[in-house]
Structure 1
Amino acid sequence: MSGTIGAEQASAGADATQREIWQQPRLWREVETSSADAFLAPLLARPDLRIVLTGAGTSAFAGGLLAPELARHLHRRVDAIATTDLVSNPAGYLAEDVPTLLVSFARSGDSPESAAATELADQYLTDVHHLVVTCNADGLLAREHGPRASSHVLLMPAGSNDRSFAMTSSYTCMVLAAWSALVGGAPMETLALAGEGVLEARDADTRELATRGYQRIVYLGSGALQSLAKEGALKVLELTAGDIVAYADSALGFRHGPKAVLDSKTLAVVFVSDDPYTRRYDEDIALELRASLGVDHVRVVAGRRSERLGDEGVWYVDGLDGVPDAVLSLPFVLAAQMLALRFSLALGHTPDNPFPSGEVNRVVRGVTIYPVSV
C-alpha cells in the first residue's frame, strides 16, 4: 500500500513522522469540540470581544492561518500574535484593555512561553478568558487552566500529541478544532476523504521530487495561506536540519525583493486560495514562476480546477470547492509534510529526530521568563 512504513524508513528514523502524517485524516474524524460550546457562546455574543490567537512556531502559524478567516466569518477583530512576540513585548500587544478571548495553541503545553503568555494576559487585561487548544492533558498549560472558570481546555484526539520532532497531527487537529469550535460547519468526512486522496495521489510525486537535488524550496500563499506557506517552509527546515534553504512569502510580496532567492536548484510550491478574487494573484505568481523556473520545477496545490493553470504540475485536491481556505489548508499541508519527509530521507537525516545532538529540541529549552510590572 502506498504510504506504508517500510523497514528502510523505520531504520532511517522516520517511523513516527510518517505514521503521524498518514494518520491525520483518521484523527480529523475524531475531533470533537462540543465541550467548548457553553463556554464560548456568551463570549462570542459580545460585539466588543477581541480574539487573540497565540502559540509558538507551528502553533503560531495555526493562529496566522485562522485569523483572517475567522475575522471574515465572525465579523469581528481577530489577531494572531505569536507567544514569542507577546512574551517579549506584552505592553505593545496588550495595550488595549478590551474584553479578550486568548486562544492558546500548544502541542505539549510545556513550552516556557505558553504559560507566560496567558499569565501576561491576566496581568494586562481586566476581562480575559482563555481557550487552551492542546494535545497534552498533562501539560503545564492544561493543568493550570483546567480548574479555572475563566478558561476552557479543548483536548485533541488521542494520538495527536506527536512523538516525532515536527508538529504534523497536532497542527492540523488544533486548526480544525479551533475552526469547529469558533465557527462550526467543517465538513469532517469530506475533509478526511480529501486528505486521504492527497496522501495516496502525491506519495510517488514527493518521492521523485526529493531525488532531484534541489537546494532551495519556496512556498507561496495569499491571505490565510501565507501562514500555510510559512509552515511548509518550517517543516523543510526542521526535517532536513537546515540543509534545504526554505523561504515563504505571499504571492504579491514575493516580487518585492525576495524573488532573488530563485536559482536553478529551486523548487517552488504555490498554494492557491479558493476565494475567486485572491485566487487570481496566486495563479499569476504560479504562471510567472513557471516562466522563470520551468513548469517541471513548480508545483501548484489547488482545490478548484483552473483553465489558466491546466493540469501539468498541479496537485488538485478534489471535493472541497467552496470551503474556506482555513479548512482547505488541511489537506494542502499534507503535501508539504510529505515533501519535508522525503527530502529529509533523501539527504540521509532521521526525521523523527533530525537534531540528534540536541541543537534544536522538540520542546523549547533555555528560555528565561522575566517578571514584568504593569
Structure 2
Amino acid sequence: MTYLDYSEATLRSMDAYWTAKEIEQQPATWQKTYQMLEANKGKIEAFLRPVLNTKNIRIILTGAGTSAFVGASIAPAILKSFGGRVEAIPTTDLVSNPHEFFQEDVPTLLVSFARSGNSPESVAAFECAEKLVKNCSQIAITCNAEGALYKRCQGDNKLALLMPEETNDKSFAMTSSFSCMLLTALYVFCPSDAFEQHLTAAINATSALLKTYNMMLKSVAMKKFERVVYLGSGVSKGLAQEGALKLLELTDGQALSTFDSPLGFRHGPKAVVNDKTLVIIFISNDPYTRQYDLELLAELQNDQEVGQILSITAKSDPVFKQGECVMLDNMSEVDDTYLMFPFIASAQVYALQHSLAINNTPDNPSSSGTINRVVQGVHIHAL
C-alpha cells in the first residue's frame, strides 16, 4: 500500500505511516460517517427538535485544541442555519472560568467534540455544565466508544454520536477525527436537501487533490519556510487556525505558524511577512467575501515581500499565478461549508510534507516527549 505517494515501508521508516494513512483515508471515512448519520437520522432529529425549539436556547460548541477548532469552524454555518445564539468556546476556557461562561438560567445545549473523550477538560466541561446550568442538554461527538465523554453522554437530555472506529487517529495529530466530527456537526445542525450531493463533490475533490497536488505541496514544503500564515474568512477562519496548529505540531515548533482572516491580517499581523514566509489562503466561493480574499492576495503580490503565496480555491481568477494555486475540481458552485473538507486536507498534507522535509517524525513529532496525544498533568479543581 502507498499513502500520499510513499510506500508503507518508507512511511514506517520515517515514523509517518499513521499520519499519512489517516490523511488519505478521509474521503472514505466521510462517506462512512454520512452513512452512519443517515442510519441514525431519526434518533438525531428526535433528540434535537425539542432542544432547538426551547425558548432562548444557547448552543455552545466546545473542545480542546483541534477539537475546539471544529466548533470555531462550524459556528458561522450553524448561526446562519439556526439563527439563534451559537458560540464556540474551548473547554480550556469553560473549565478554567466556568462562572464567566455558563449562565444558570439560560437553557443550554453543550456540544462537545473529542477524539478520545478522555482529556481532563472534556470531562470537566461536561460536569461543569451539568452543575451550573439548570436546563442543560448535551451532545458528544467523539471517535472513541471507550472514552469517558462517550460513556457519560448517555441517558436523558444527552446524545452521543460515535465516528467510525478508524477516525480515532493513532497518529499524534488529529486529521480524520477532525474532519469527520466537522462533517457530523454540519449534518446535525445545517440540514440541506443537497447535503449528499455537495458532500459527494467534496469527497471527489479531495480525492483528486490528494492525487494531483501532493507533489506540488511537497515541493513547497521542501523550501522549509520558517513562518507560515493561514488565512480564511467565515468558516475558513477556524480552518486556518487548525491548519496553523497542525503545522506547529508536526514540525515540533520548528515552523512557526499563525492564522487570521484576510481582512484582519492587514491590521498589524501582516508584519510577520518576509522572504521566509509562506502565506496560504483559503479562497471563499461567496461572491462578496471572495472580493476581500482576492484583494489581500493581490496586495501581497504587489508588496513583493512574501516568500511564497499558495491559494486554495474552487474558482479560477486572473490574480492566481501558475504554481501558486491549488484548484479544486467541480466545487465552484458549492457553499463554503463544503469547501472546508478539501481545504483542511490541503493543510494537513502540507504539514506532513513540511515535517518530513525537516526530518521530523510526524507520528511522534515531539522530540522532548512533553507534548502528548492526550494531554497529561492537568488537575481539575473542585467548583
2:177 is aligned with 1:170: yes
TM alignment of 1:277-316, pairs within 5 A: 277-293=288-304, 297-309=308-320, 313-316=324-327
Distance 2:319 2:288 in 1: 14
Specify which of 122, 127, 130 is matched with residue 135 of structure 2.
127
2:183 is aligned with 1:182: no
Deviations 1:294-314 (A, max 9, x none): 787100111223344365522
2:124 is aligned with 1:116: yes
Deviations 1:145-196 (A, max 9, x none): 12x2111100011200000000000000000011101222333322211110
Alignment CA distance shift 1:110-1:204 (3 Å): same
Specify which of 133, 142, 147 is matched with residue 139 of structure 1.
147
Alignment correspondent of 2:276:
265
Q: CA deviation at 1:47?
A: 4.7
2:67 is aligned with 1:48: no
Q: CA deviation at 1:249?
A: 1.0
Alignment correspondent of 1:210:
221
Gaps of 5+ in 1: none
Alignment correspondent of 2:32:
30
Q: CA deviation at 1:319?
A: 2.0
**Over aligned residues, Cα RMSD in angstroms?**
1.7
Distance 2:60 2:322 in 1: 39
Gaps of 5+ in 2: none
Alignment correspondent of 2:365:
354
Distance 2:337 2:99 in 1: 30
Alignment correspondent of 2:331:
320
Distance 1:63 1:200 in 2: 29
Contact kept in structure 2, 1:274 and 1:303, CA below 8 Å: yes
Distance 2:224 2:232 in 1: 24
Contact kept in structure 2, 1:2 and 1:200, CA below 8 Å: no
Alignment CA distance shift 1:2-1:92 (3 Å): closer
Distance 2:15 2:348 in 1: 16
Distance 1:352 1:310 in 2: 34
SS at match of 1:364: coil
Q: CA deviation at 1:356?
A: 4.7
2:20 is aligned with 1:12: no
Distance 1:310 1:45 in 2: 49
Aligned length in residues: 371
Distance 1:296 1:363 in 2: 35
Contact kept in structure 2, 1:2 and 1:203, CA below 8 Å: no
Q: CA deviation at 1:358?
A: 1.6
Alignment CA distance shift 1:214-1:81 (3 Å): same
Contact kept in structure 1, 2:3 and 2:24, CA below 8 Å: no
SS at match of 1:41: helix
Distance 1:54 1:106 in 2: 9
Distance 1:131 1:293 in 2: 48
Alignment CA distance shift 1:319-1:263 (3 Å): same
Farther off after superposition, 73-82 or 285-294:
285-294
Distance 2:20 2:266 in 1: 35
SS at match of 1:154: strand
SS at match of 2:137: strand
Distance 2:318 2:55 in 1: 42
Specify which of 68, 76, 84 is matched with residue 68 of structure 1.
76
Specify which of 204, 218, 224 is matched with residue 193 of structure 1.
204
Q: CA deviation at 1:101?
A: 0.9
Distance 2:158 2:219 in 1: 47
Farther off after superposition, 233-242 or 176-185:
176-185
1:136 is aligned with what amino acid?
Answer: N
| TM-score normalised over the length of structure 1 | 0.95
Farther off after superposition, 363-372 or 307-316:
307-316
Alignment correspondent of 1:81:
89
Q: CA deviation at 1:287?
A: 1.3
SS at match of 2:280: strand
Q: CA deviation at 1:213?
A: 3.0
Specify which of 21, 24, 34 is matched with residue 23 of structure 2.
21
Contact kept in structure 1, 2:277 and 2:307, CA below 8 Å: no
Distance 1:362 1:325 in 2: 30
SS at match of 1:159: helix
SS at match of 2:301: helix
Alignment correspondent of 2:166:
159
| TM-score normalised over the length of structure 2 | 0.93
Alignment correspondent of 1:107:
115
Alignment CA distance shift 1:293-1:310 (3 Å): closer
Q: CA deviation at 1:100?
A: 1.2
